[in-house]
Amino acid sequence: MESDLARANAPTRAVMQVLLGHQRAGVYSLTLGAETRLSPGSLHPILARLERLGWVESWWQDAAAVVGDLAQRSAARRRWYRLTADGAELVRQAIRQGDQAHSSWIVPWRPLAGTA
């Protein structure tokens, strides 16, 4: 399992880094895409692969949580993602090691277009 992590490409490492930052509550894919700057076509296959490996778990937002004004009630439910305990520990170990292979784990901050 650790060898798979060592071979992870930059987009996969970026996804795992963002997931680690949202470990407690989880994060939904729109936020993941914004924070990693990955398109849905790149992001969702990464999430599916990490889930198959057992590093990520996902769940659908509770329908009862979608309440409030009309816009919120008509909105689609969100799929949430979070690192599993094993996945989080592997990411933490790789970050602690700080070797050259993982020097690009941290996604550099850049303002979104039109917000700066």
Q: Tell me 81's DSSP state.
A: E
Task: List the beta bridge partners of residue 56.
Answer: 83
2-100 has CATH 3.30.559.10 classification:
no
Separation CA 66–CA 51 (nearest Å) = 25
Q: What is the pTM of this model?
A: 0.71
pLDDT score for 13: 84
Residue 81 tokens read as 């993602």
Reported as a single tens digit per residue, the pLDDT across 91-109 is 888 777 655 554 555 555 5
Residue 47 tokens read as 């999430």
pLDDT score for 102: 47
Separation CA 44–CA 8 (nearest Å) = 15
Reported as a single tens digit per residue, the pLDDT across 47-90 is 999 999 999 999 998 766 555 544 555 567 789 999 999 999 98
* Residue 4 banded pLDDT, cuts 50, 70, 90: low
